[in-house]
Structure 1
Amino acid sequence: MSTRILPVVGDADAARSITTLLSQLPDAEPAGPVGDSTSLIDTLARLAAESIDELPEVVLVHERIGPVPALELIREVALRFPAVGVILVSTDAGPGLFAAAMDSGARGLVGLPLSYEELAQRVQAAAAWSVGVRRHLGQGADVFTGPGGTVITVSGAKGGVGTTTVAVQLALAARASGMNTALADLDLQAGDIASYLDVQFRRSIVDLASIQDISPRVLQDAVYIHPSGIGMLLAPGEGERGEEVNERSVRQIVSALRNRYEVVVIDCGTQMNSANAAAIEMADTTLLLTTPDVVSVRAAKRMVRLWDRLQIRKAEETVIVVNRHTRNTEIQPPLIERITSTRVARVTIPANFKELQPAVDAGRMQDLESKSTVKQAMWGLAGELGLVKTPEGGEKNSKFKGDRGSVGVLRGRSRPHD
């Protein structure tokens, strides 16, 4: 049986060298190299959507891959595609990096310059492990499989623009249409999704922050299942504990949610930190809420520029949602689109807080009346984004899906920006 090997190498010379040596291995079937982390994840997701058997047995990750660092990339592959054996290729083959690679989910470490004997040994071991895992998966084991669901992040240009309300209603709309849906609160210092849906639950996202390997059972223990059917991962009750959630843990948590749910809606609040920056970068679609006034639109423009400078999300990959829209305001969606250099969602949410107030005051957003124009708009937005199934039961189809940012994340910052 041949071993399918997918090299992930950004440097052209290194790619040629690795591919040449791989072609000399017995029973090896090397594929053409992919040049960055985003291409790897997209390739594996496409193959996994067809069948787990279509995935390569071995993925070789070069140390200088980007934009996601090699160890973080290995961790994401291990979480999302557990039947793939990952090998790290590095000039540093010392015990420190070996331990870090193993903690991230790698099945081996090969030093540079490459040795035929060492490479053959590591590939053979990783391939044998992969075959064993696939046999185990075929017996219905309780582990993640498949390419995962759609991740939508919802951020606010500034406070008070309706970020949490929209996030909650998008999740309710997706669940009501039959989609297996999660709602996560990454507004770590001030998030209070629980109050919007009348939830009391002692566990939060902090309980997952220090866990190296989030299994389905561990995730299940931290998620509250709302009566509507939504799986809720809450922000900590003590805001200061939000600093325990860092970029690394968010990458693990988002990957785990993506592999458990068809739709994952993440409320990122209005403040930027390394944790929600990682979620925004990983998302399939990023929403930025604004109201049609000068202060909010300026704040939206600043946020878009910040994401672009930090290489989290490009302006053209950001979707602006206009909340509290009225026809007689001078600031209309086309103007907002030009000012922010983004795309503005076709669906705008009307200004009618009186419809929302009873549900908000009662903490039961799930009881918002169906005839509410605000609810109809937010659920229409869910449809535009492809978060709901079609009436005929077809698959979701969003023009925004697949626009995930493919650039680096904010690092070394544990406190929100002002």
Structure 2
Amino acid sequence: MSIQVLIGTSDPELAAGLRTKIAELADTQVIGVENNSGNVLGIVGSHQELDIVLLDEGIGPQLGHDLIREIALRSPHVAVVLLSEQLDEEVLSRALETGARGVLGRNPTLEELSSRLDVVAEWSQRMRQLLGTGRAEGPELGGRRGRIVALAGAKGGTGATTIAVQLALAASRAGRSVCLVDMDLQTGDVATYLDMVHRRSVADLVSVANEITGAVLADVLFIHEAGPHVLLAPQDGERAEDVSSSAARQILAVLRSRYEVIIVDCGAFMTEGSVTAIEVADRAVIAVTPDLPCLRAAKRLSHLWKRLDVRKPEDVSIVLTRQSRKDEIQPDFAARILGMTPLKTAVPPAFRALEKAINNGAPVRIDHDGFRNAMRQLGEELGVLPVIAAAEPRGGARRPKAEAI
């Protein structure tokens, strides 16, 4: 199916140049050029297959940013790319705040245009699927419930966010519909790990938690180019107090009805929102590094959840991170300290590979086989990835599973 593009500009030279460049792109079609805001809104409202609007900021009579808001309200699945004379952080921030999916110069190169159109067209098509069945609280999975996995850190720096992000990416690659939720409401860092700029957050859903519609979700969710939909923590940590237990429960229930897998990063600091996620999750996992202070912190946290009647220790899973055979504390000793058996899969140290991937904004490209294998095995163990059966050698004997790293 071709990408349907509408050009909105009163500058005939700009329109002609864009038409010429788009004509060189495969599977991309300009459905028309409109020279005023009223006509743009008319086409957006009537052309159901429209994916993208390339909008000149100088179009009139309605101002460009006001027009972007109007399009987002009327047709939240349509991606708007603003064409601007000036490209800087202020222009980008304002455009994103009003609902645009990106900014291009008024004379973009063919490569720039192609790259941007591909990304926003994928967003538009995914958002169309998300909104296609109406209200978000409906039984979108045909009566089935999505699986919620909540990850918390025994303390800061144990790798809970890294695991949450990587599990979401892996589940998305496996073809599952995935929502990654940052419930680390005070210090959430999922946006940094995924190299995202987005102004909306879970706090924006609180006031409408009783009646979350598809359009509301479309305005708040970010769709990462690698597949998962992302619901971010608020940029201002003090807004964590806005996310009550009741609101968090309603939001997670809506997401459970729309996605097959919901991965929740709860961080290391407990708030009403994160505690609620731990309570309603199908699997609650504490990330622990193999050192005594962290193991004792994990034990205290599990006992806290028990005292608060959130979750019993026997219903909590432990994942060892940065685990090496050279460590003094091995999984069997950790189990004796914790009084809980860690998951079979341990996560090996991969400092350099993770540092490089995060610094380059490429979380899907981690050059560490052991880490990637551990994420796959962990995903299988937690039920967010399909289990891959071990291959059988020609002699018929089943090959033993690889030892957890």
TM-score using structure 1 length: 0.58
Structure 2 gap ranges (5+): 1-131, 390-405
Distance 1:217 1:269 in 2: 28
The alignment covers a number of residue pairs equal to 253
2:162 maps to 1:154: no
* Deviation per residue, 1:264-309 (Å, 9 max, x gap): 0000000112221111000000010000001111111111111111
Determine which of 372, 378, 381 is the counterpart of 2:378: 381
Residues 372/308 of structure 1: CA separation in 2 closer, same or farther (3 Å cut): same
Q: What's the offset of the Cα at 1:386?
A: 1.5
Considering only aligned residues, what root-mean-square deviation do their CA atoms show, in Å?
A: 1.7
Distance 1:332 1:346 in 2: 12
Counterpart secondary structure, 1:304: helix
Distance 1:391 1:305 in 2: 35
Amino acid at match of 1:304: S
Show structure 1 runs of 4+ deviating over 3 A.
139-143
Determine which of 349, 359, 362 is the counterpart of 2:347: 349
Match of 2:215 in 1: 217
Distance 2:289 2:242 in 1: 32
Q: What's the offset of the Cα at 1:388?
A: 1.3
Counterpart secondary structure, 1:165: helix
Distance 2:183 2:270 in 1: 10
Distance 1:308 1:239 in 2: 26
- 1:83-122 to 2 correspondence within 5 Å? none
Amino acid at match of 1:214: I
Match of 2:201 in 1: 204
Counterpart secondary structure, 2:207: coil
Match of 2:62 in 1: none
- 1:253-272 to 2 correspondence within 5 Å? 253-272=251-270
- 1:229-378 to 2 correspondence within 5 Å? 229-369=227-367, 371-378=368-375
Counterpart secondary structure, 1:164: helix
Q: What's the offset of the Cα at 1:221?
A: 2.0
Distance 2:165 2:267 in 1: 12
* Deviation per residue, 1:193-223 (Å, 9 max, x gap): 0111111111111110111211233222211
Distance 1:217 1:261 in 2: 16
Q: What's the offset of the Cα at 1:342?
A: 2.3
Counterpart secondary structure, 1:339: helix
* Deviation per residue, 1:308-341 (Å, 9 max, x gap): 1111111111000000001122211122223222
Counterpart secondary structure, 1:344: coil
Preserved CA contact (<8 Å) 2:135 2:212: no
Q: Who wins on radius of gyration, i.e. which is larger?
A: 2
Amino acid at match of 2:197: Q
Distance 1:190 1:363 in 2: 19
Distance 2:168 2:146 in 1: 13
Match of 1:176 in 2: 173
Match of 2:27 in 1: none
Match of 1:226 in 2: 224
Preserved CA contact (<8 Å) 1:316 1:341: no
Preserved CA contact (<8 Å) 2:200 2:221: yes
Q: What's the offset of the Cα at 1:383?
A: 1.4
Match of 1:59 in 2: none
Preserved CA contact (<8 Å) 2:203 2:234: yes
Distance 2:341 2:257 in 1: 28
Match of 2:117 in 1: none
Identity of aligned residues (%): 42
Residues 140/358 of structure 1: CA separation in 2 closer, same or farther (3 Å cut): closer
2:160 maps to 1:167: no
* Deviation per residue, 1:380-411 (Å, 9 max, x gap): 2111112113459xxxxxxxxxxxxxxxxxxx
Preserved CA contact (<8 Å) 1:315 1:340: no
Preserved CA contact (<8 Å) 2:164 2:264: yes
Counterpart secondary structure, 2:211: coil
Amino acid at match of 2:163: V
Residues 140/359 of structure 1: CA separation in 2 closer, same or farther (3 Å cut): closer
Distance 2:212 2:339 in 1: 38
- 1:58-73 to 2 correspondence within 5 Å? none
Amino acid at match of 1:190: T
